[in-house]
Amino acid sequence: MTTMTDQARLLKTAIPGPRSVALHEARAQQVARGFGITMPVFVDHADGALLVDVDGNRIIDMGSGIAVTSVGAAAPQVVERIAEQAAKFTHTCFMVTEYEGFTEVAAALNRLTPGDHEKRTALFSTGAEAVENAVKIARAATGRPAIVVLDHAYHGRTLMTMTMTAKNVPYKEGFGPYAPEVYRAPMAYPFRYDGDEKACAADALAKLKDLVLTQIGAHNVAAIVAEPIQGEGGFVVPAEGFLPGVVEFAREHGILFVADEIQTGFARTGRMFACEHEGIVPDLITTAKALAGGMPLAAVTGRADVMDAVAPGGLGGTYAGNPVACAAALGAIETIEDDGLVARAAEIERLVKPRLEAMRAESGGRIGDVRGRGAMLAIELVEPGTTNPAPQYAQEVAAHCHREGVLVLVCGTYGNVIRLLPPLVISDALLEDALDVLATAVRSLA
């Protein structure tokens, strides 16, 4: 990997520095306030796992722009392919005239996603758009209306995907009425279940079956949509056996299983796709984020018979599968495969998880849970010795890290989870430095 920036954290000013503060004030006069902000620093350039701000501070990126820049913020193969494609043409609209990049990305997704059945892929621009289209395709293929989702789910901000998302504030408040025919089943959330993991999985599965069979009617359900590890909802790893049980139940009733791998996909969890951890083969899979190394590109990939239930003209969008974004995706996929980033994500888990466990041991019961897979890891903060969510601790820990130049993200239905999503190209040294800062932040809660 070539890097232009000295790969070490550096604080030149307080964070945010004076230039960032001034730019943030100017922003407030121009930009709708509906956009929140995690860390109000303005980025000048970024390299590998470092963000360099306009005040010259070098910040360790433990968020990857929410699981997007897995190959780094300016990966050479991504940058080169973007430049090459942009110089040739930036857009034709794939529904007007064709280009090879679209087919090549589709072929890569058909090859890489779980299952060796015949597949087809449709490309879009955003994750929410991919989920919306998965719903359209599932309805067209089954002729059924209902969609089942889980507690703590996040699927996007458009009308349908906002409806599918569980959390009210900030995603849904004031934006109703919501789309019809969306039903929610409990999630098998081991930390918040009174009993062992096996019972947790069995209980949640029984409740989902009951919802489908008694309240909706299985013959009315087009699809069950689930994230194999929940992202915004708190990095919840479903109790082992729950998702395979859901898939089996779905198959019995002609219901499609849609895996939303928008956050978990492309090596993030130590497998190319998180479904692989439990041997799940979804009928449809949605991807976005890390797919194109920072360019807006999303996809629905799935069984050829299901995908082709939609007639020509039924899918599309002006920018769907934009050629520059497709070029970026080919560069990102090449980087993931050539640089062994699936294995690297697993290695990151082996390095980080024991350190998070050590933080828990000395947290005075404030870290209730350490969980996740690969480079998608989190700590859940609670009132000492209980399972009562402590969002104020998450805010304090995040603020401490941000002041020290380590960008961490908060998530969770209760806002009490600190999540780590470093670029997979991060060095061990940068990771250790970020974890030292996090450990100090947790210690200072006491």
* Residue ranges in contact with ligand PLZ by CB under 6 A: 66, 126-128, 131, 154-157, 227, 231-232, 260, 262-263, 288
Residue 306: exposure state from Cβ atoms within 10 A (0-12, 13-18, ≥19): buried
Rounded least distance, CB 153 to ligand PLZ, Å: 8
Nearest CB to ligand PLZ, comparing residues 266 and 363: 266
Paired tokens of 165: 């998302």
Rounded least distance, CB 156 to ligand PLZ, Å: 4
Nearest CB to ligand PLZ, comparing residues 138 and 430: 138
Nearest CB to ligand PLZ, comparing residues 167 and 402: 167
Rounded least distance, CB 118 to ligand PLZ, Å: 25
Residues 6+ apart with CB under 8 A from 382: 365, 366, 367, 368, 388, 389, 390, 393, 416
Give dist(CA 193, CA 202) in Å, integer: 11
Nearest CB to ligand PLZ, comparing residues 69 and 126: 126
Rounded least distance, CB 314 to ligand PLZ, Å: 21
Rounded least distance, CB 268 to ligand PLZ, Å: 11
Nearest CB to ligand PLZ, comparing residues 151 and 227: 227
Nearest CB to ligand PLZ, comparing residues 50 and 411: 411
Nearest CB to ligand PLZ, comparing residues 226 and 438: 226
Token look-up 């970020």 returns: 434
Q: Residue 57 corresponds to which amino acid?
A: N
Chain residue whose CB lies nearest ligand PLZ: 127
Nearest CB to ligand PLZ, comparing residues 151 and 232: 232
Rounded least distance, CB 22 to ligand PLZ, Å: 26
Backbone angles phi, psi at 339, to 5 degrees: -95, 10
Nearest CB to ligand PLZ, comparing residues 66 and 437: 66
Rounded least distance, CB 258 to ligand PLZ, Å: 11
296: left (phi over 0), alpha (psi -120 to 50) or beta: beta
Give dist(CA 56, CA 19) in Å, integer: 10
Rounded least distance, CB 131 to ligand PLZ, Å: 6
Give dist(CA 299, CA 301) in Å, integer: 6
Rounded least distance, CB 419 to ligand PLZ, Å: 11
Residue 97: exposure state from Cβ atoms within 10 A (0-12, 13-18, ≥19): exposed
Other CB atoms within a 10 A radius of the CB of residue 93 amount to 15
